[in-house]
Chains A and B, each alone.
Chain A
Amino acid sequence: MGKKKSAALIVLVTVVLLGLLFICFAPTFQAKTPYDYRSLLGSVELSTDLGGGYSTVYYPEGVISQSEYDLIESLYTAAENNGDTSGLENPADYTRHKGVYLSEDLYEDGALKESFVDSFNAAFRTLQRRFADKGYADYTVATQDDYTIFVQIPYGDETPGDLFNTFAYGGSLYLTSETITSVKGLESWTDADIKGFSVASAGDSGYAVALKFTKEGRERFKEMTASMVEAEQTTLYLYVGTNQVLSVSGISSEQDTSTLYISGSFTERADAQTAASVLDSALDEENAFSLVLQYSQVNTFEPSAGTHTALAITIAIGVLFVAVLVAALVLYKGMGLAHAYAFLTYILAFVLCISLIGGMVVDLAGVLAIVLASAVMTAFNRFAYRNIRDEFYKGKTLTAAIKSGYRRSLALTIDVHVILAAASLIVMLIATGSAHFAAAIFLAGILLSAACTLGVTRFYLYMFMAQPKNKIAFCNFRREEADEDEE
């Protein structure tokens, strides 16, 4: 590479890296538009431990909170003083149970009705399943005061109220040709008819919910759509209990299909997943619950690992990375400079991947994955440099030593990256929760590490090597013969 070409490339690469540094790491500031400028790092999706999230409490019908009880009590007392309590709930109709109050309607012979307890347990299991299906890095579905359900989820693209509301739907699954207010006389669809619901890509229109029929279900659906055509009904409704979840319009002919794709105008995958989760859980007749669940209000909660943990750990890792780069510059001089540029490229590409690719959520395990992937990248650059140094001190010219050093590093670098990429891909595909996201982040990191170690660093090394007169000194090497001559 010529000196001029090298200088131009150095300027170009430096400008691009500086620009990307600004885009990725610049702190939030007020731009001239009505919106704040937000860096890519700021838009990285965080799990509950680093980013906090939404929480709510589901109250079954007949169970009220302390504050609601206090309100009923104060209204009733005020009305009693005025001498007219008609139309008001009597606080005496409620019995305290831990932190909540239970309506006397839930009791039978002094004990809680078995049907209520069974239905509550079924509702709890169903909610557990629905939130598990959402594939969060971390979430909580817990019982609070025995008869309410406490839920925590990370921040996301969905409106939390809509999500909590949809997940409260109880009952079996019904496919109908008209809107319903009661399920009396309707026959539900179970796992004997439908294998399950999943999310499918709908191209430009976003996402769709895919419904897979069993053999029997396919026949039943064929008959149903045939009768719909006969009755000139063109819209199919999917209900969970009496709650409409989805509808399919434009059914003009008998449908004989094993998979029905329902486009619900889902622009976000998460919305489609919510619908699919609710419909899928309704196939399980054992856990279909009749209980009416109401959530009191949606709260936000601060990160469980500490309010400023994400910021503090970003700064700490940033300082450590800078220390590693300085060490590389001191130890390897010019080669260290090439490593510094490559590492910067790597980190910027990593931030771009984590913030722009969907499905990347960072939690504490994700932080470990980022650090480990960065360590792999640094270690293999160091490995290549040591091989170059060894080859050089065997007596080869610098150019030959670089070629030979990289050749010697190639097999192990590829092998280790293949092993690590395969391991993270397998964990990503099989695991759920924190492990899934940590593996996804590590996979991105290891692919970038392979690209940077095998290509980018070498390119930068050649780019910088074209500049200095004394290339050997630039690489912090010394020719022993030359030293002897000098002596």
Chain B
Amino acid sequence: MKSKLLSKKTVLILVAVALAVIVAGAFVCGFLGFAKDTSKKDAVSIQVSGYLAQGDLRDPLEEFFLDKLSADGYSVAEVRYGTSYSLTDDILEFVLAGKADRDLTEYASQLQTALEGAGIEGVEAAVITVSANNIEYAAQPAPVWRTAVGAAVVLVVLLAYVAIRFRLGMGVTAFAMALFDVLLTFALIALLRIPAGAAMVGVAVFVLILSALFESALFGRIRMLLRDRERDEAAVSMTAAEEVAAGAALSRNGIFAAAIGLAAVCMVGGIVGLCTGVSLTWIMIAALIGVLVCTFTSVLIAPSMYAAIKTASDARRAEKSKYNYASEKRRAKAATADAAEQAE
């Protein structure tokens, strides 16, 4: 069977490109940080509160303010709705795009005056307050760090389990690929400036687990093939690379099927997000990148990397198991010398 693994040169080029992406992503992340989604982005918001009679008056009020803000040159990043838990007040909030350090209090007063003059049917401008607020979000590093620690422990456990249950080389490859997958995915997320909210930490867990799934499926199939070949006395002789390629080919369909299914969910979710809320779209794009990266590594990089490790370890084992004629000659020489001494 002809090896279908990528050549060493191609793998090295792919890994080098991926590492360059990771380094670039780390730089972007270090200097600019992740792009924040609108729910956690420092912003100026225009808040309209009071008795808006949700549903009836909210829509004309929203339309009025959107038109006014647009006419005055402000771009609205998001409109949020809320209601008072205890009172009958409702809240309509326009999060403005752009920098958060602008003082728009005067502008809020102008909006209030404009509302009073607009004479929207049913709207009692006197009970409505228009205010401008600047919100600065504080970083919440604890969940990120704790997830990173958890992910590190998972990587070690993955290495140990695969090394013990499968083979050491497989464990090392699974460890390296899982780390590679998470880093590459997040480098791409940083480079593409995909807005990240709290759930993006969960995407890291998703990628890690998906990588563990694909790597364990890949090495599981290779192990099955190797075991079958060990049992089968009539098996045709194969090089390590050919064995790995054959095992990888067995797992490829399953990995592709799972990847296509997950990618379909991500795409459908992304489209749904475009209609309902864009943060869903961003999360689904991030997850889709994760699916593509995990598929790329488990189909192209991991088999080649393991083949290289297996070739080297097989060669070392063959070298060790060679009969040592030199030592036998030395022993024979020593025995002759002993016999000669005794004879003397």
Interface residues of A (CB under 8 A from B): 47-49, 54-55, 65-67, 70, 96, 98-99, 124, 128, 132, 137-138, 140-146, 150, 160-161, 297-309, 312-313, 316-317, 320, 324, 363-369, 371-372, 375-376, 378-379, 382-383, 408, 411-412, 415-416, 418-420, 422-424, 426-427, 429-439, 442
B82 near A431 with CB under 8 A, answer no
With A304-B277, A312-B276: A150-B204 Cβ-Cβ less than 8 Å: no
Q: Confirm or deny: B208 has a beta carbon within 8 angstroms of a beta carbon on chain A.
A: yes
Q: Confirm or deny: B300 has a beta carbon within 8 angstroms of a beta carbon on chain A.
A: no
A49 near B39 with CB under 8 A, answer yes
A297 near B86 with CB under 8 A, answer yes
Task: Among B158, B197, B206, B265, find the residue whose CB has the most chain A CB atoms closer than 10 A.
Answer: B265
Docked CA distance A368–B290 (Å): 11
Task: Among B158, B201, B275, B277, find the residue whose CB has the most chain A CB atoms closer than 10 A.
Answer: B277
Interface pick from B146-154, B231-239, B301-309 = B146-154
User: In the assembled complex, which residues on chain A have CB atoms less than 8 Å from the CB atom of B149?
Assistant: 430-431
Q: Confirm or deny: B296 has a beta carbon within 8 angstroms of a beta carbon on chain A.
A: no
Interface 1/0 per residue, B255-285 and A, CB below 8 Å = 0011001101100110011011111100100
Interface 1/0 per residue, B145-172 and A, CB below 8 Å = 0110111011001100110011000000
User: In the assembled complex, which residues on chain B have CB atoms less than 8 Å from the CB atom of A375?
Assistant: 258, 261-262
A435 near B85 with CB under 8 A, answer no
Contact partner of A419 among B85, B199, B216, CB < 8 A? B216
- Across chains A and B, which 9 residue pairs bring their CB atoms closest together, nearest first? A365-B202, A306-B277, A433-B143, A430-B150, A306-B276, A298-B85, A412-B220, A66-B131, A438-B202
B133 near A368 with CB under 8 A, answer no
Contact partner of B257 among A369, A382, A416, CB < 8 A? A382
Q: Confirm or deny: B4 has a beta carbon within 8 angstroms of a beta carbon on chain A.
A: no
Q: Confirm or deny: B81 has a beta carbon within 8 angstroms of a beta carbon on chain A.
A: yes
Minimal beta-carbon separation of B159 from chain A (angstroms) = 11
Docked CA distance A393–B200 (Å): 46
A49 near B134 with CB under 8 A, answer no
Docked CA distance A313–B91 (Å): 26
Query: Which chain B residues (208-222) contact chain A, with CB distance < 8 Å?
Result: 208-210, 212-213, 216-217, 220-221
Contact partner of B157 among A65, A306, A376, A426, CB < 8 A? A426
Contact partner of A423 among B146, B157, B272, CB < 8 A? B157
Minimal beta-carbon separation of A435 from chain B (angstroms) = 4
Docked CA distance A98–B265 (Å): 44
A427 near B217 with CB under 8 A, answer no
A298 near B86 with CB under 8 A, answer yes
Minimal beta-carbon separation of B286 from chain A (angstroms) = 9
B91 near A299 with CB under 8 A, answer yes
B280 near A299 with CB under 8 A, answer no
User: In the assembled complex, which residues on chain A have CB atoms less than 8 Å from the CB atom of B217?
Assistant: 379, 412, 416
User: In the assembled complex, which residues on chain A have CB atoms less than 8 Å from the CB atom of B202?
Assistant: 363-366, 368-369, 434-435, 437-438
Contact partner of B84 among A299, A302, A420, A437, CB < 8 A? A299
Docked CA distance A433–B202 (Å): 9
Contact partner of B132 among A98, A128, A420, CB < 8 A? A98
Docked CA distance A416–B215 (Å): 9
User: In the assembled complex, which residues on chain B have CB atoms less than 8 Å from the CB atom of A55?
Assistant: 82
Identity of the chain A residue whose Cβ is nearest the Cβ of B80 in the assembled complex: A301
B216 near A145 with CB under 8 A, answer no
User: In the assembled complex, which residues on chain B have CB atoms less than 8 Å from the CB atom of A412?
Assistant: 216-217, 220-221, 224
Write 5 A-B pairs (CB below 8 A) sorted by A numbering: A99-B105, A320-B268, A363-B202, A432-B146, A442-B205
Contacts between chains A and B (CB distance < 8 A), count: 272
B165 near A142 with CB under 8 A, answer no
Docked CA distance A132–B162 (Å): 35
Q: Confirm or deny: B13 has a beta carbon within 8 angstroms of a beta carbon on chain A.
A: no
User: In the assembled complex, which residues on chain A have CB atoms less than 8 Å from the CB atom of B280?
Assistant: 305-306, 309, 313, 364
Minimal beta-carbon separation of A299 from chain B (angstroms) = 5
Docked CA distance A49–B272 (Å): 15
Contact partner of A435 among B205, B216, B257, B275, CB < 8 A? B205
Minimal beta-carbon separation of B221 from chain A (angstroms) = 7
A140 near B276 with CB under 8 A, answer no
Docked CA distance A270–B230 (Å): 57
A142 near B136 with CB under 8 A, answer yes
Interface 1/0 per residue, B99-110 and A, CB below 8 Å = 000010100100
User: In the assembled complex, which residues on chain A have CB atoms less than 8 Å from the CB atom of B83?
Assistant: 299-300
User: In the assembled complex, which residues on chain B have CB atoms less than 8 Å from the CB atom of A144?
Assistant: 133-136
Minimal beta-carbon separation of A135 from chain B (angstroms) = 10
Minimal beta-carbon separation of A366 from chain B (angstroms) = 7
User: In the assembled complex, which residues on chain B have CB atoms less than 8 Å from the CB atom of A299?
Assistant: 82-85, 89, 91
User: In the assembled complex, which residues on chain A have CB atoms less than 8 Å from the CB atom of B165?
Assistant: 415
User: In the assembled complex, which residues on chain A have CB atoms less than 8 Å from the CB atom of B158?
Assistant: 419, 423
A143 near B135 with CB under 8 A, answer yes
Q: Confirm or deny: B33 has a beta carbon within 8 angstroms of a beta carbon on chain A.
A: no
Q: Confirm or deny: B229 has a beta carbon within 8 angstroms of a beta carbon on chain A.
A: no
User: In the assembled complex, which residues on chain A have CB atoms less than 8 Å from the CB atom of B224?
Assistant: 408, 411-412
Minimal beta-carbon separation of A426 from chain B (angstroms) = 5
Contact partner of A324 among B82, B147, B261, B273, CB < 8 A? B261
With A364-B279, A426-B153: A313-B272 Cβ-Cβ less than 8 Å: yes
B276 near A308 with CB under 8 A, answer yes
Q: Confirm or deny: B98 has a beta carbon within 8 angstroms of a beta carbon on chain A.
A: no
Docked CA distance A297–B132 (Å): 18
Interface 1/0 per residue, B68-108 and A, CB below 8 Å = 00000000000011111111010100000000000101001
User: In the assembled complex, which residues on chain B have CB atoms less than 8 Å from the CB atom of A48?
Assistant: 39
Minimal beta-carbon separation of A373 from chain B (angstroms) = 9
B150 near A431 with CB under 8 A, answer yes
Docked CA distance A54–B105 (Å): 25
Docked CA distance A346–B242 (Å): 39
User: In the assembled complex, which residues on chain B have CB atoms less than 8 Å from the CB atom of A161?
Assistant: 85-86
A365 near B103 with CB under 8 A, answer no
A379 near B216 with CB under 8 A, answer no
A320 near B198 with CB under 8 A, answer no
B86 near A423 with CB under 8 A, answer no
A371 near B262 with CB under 8 A, answer yes
Q: Confirm or deny: B184 has a beta carbon within 8 angstroms of a beta carbon on chain A.
A: no
User: In the assembled complex, which residues on chain A have CB atoms less than 8 Å from the CB atom of B82?
Assistant: 55, 299-302
Contact partner of A309 among B151, B213, B273, B287, CB < 8 A? B273
User: In the assembled complex, which residues on chain B have CB atoms less than 8 Å from the CB atom of A65?
Assistant: 131
Q: Confirm or deny: B203 has a beta carbon within 8 angstroms of a beta carbon on chain A.
A: yes
Docked CA distance A83–B152 (Å): 72
Minimal beta-carbon separation of A59 from chain B (angstroms) = 12
Docked CA distance A122–B154 (Å): 36
Identity of the chain A residue whose Cβ is nearest the Cβ of B221 in the assembled complex: A412
Q: Confirm or deny: B49 has a beta carbon within 8 angstroms of a beta carbon on chain A.
A: yes
Identity of the chain B residue whose Cβ is nearest the Cβ of A323 in the assembled complex: B264
A435 near B134 with CB under 8 A, answer no
User: In the assembled complex, which residues on chain B have CB atoms less than 8 Å from the CB atom of A365?
Assistant: 199-203, 205-206, 283
User: In the assembled complex, which residues on chain A have CB atoms less than 8 Å from the CB atom of B265?
Assistant: 317, 320, 371
Q: Confirm or deny: B342 has a beta carbon within 8 angstroms of a beta carbon on chain A.
A: no
User: In the assembled complex, which residues on chain B have CB atoms less than 8 Å from the CB atom of A305?
Assistant: 273, 276-277, 279-280
A312 near B201 with CB under 8 A, answer no
B103 near A431 with CB under 8 A, answer no
Q: Confirm or deny: B137 has a beta carbon within 8 angstroms of a beta carbon on chain A.
A: yes
Docked CA distance A426–B216 (Å): 17
Docked CA distance A140–B37 (Å): 13
A434 near B138 with CB under 8 A, answer no
Docked CA distance A43–B162 (Å): 39
Q: Confirm or deny: B343 has a beta carbon within 8 angstroms of a beta carbon on chain A.
A: no
Contact partner of A376 among B166, B206, B213, CB < 8 A? B213
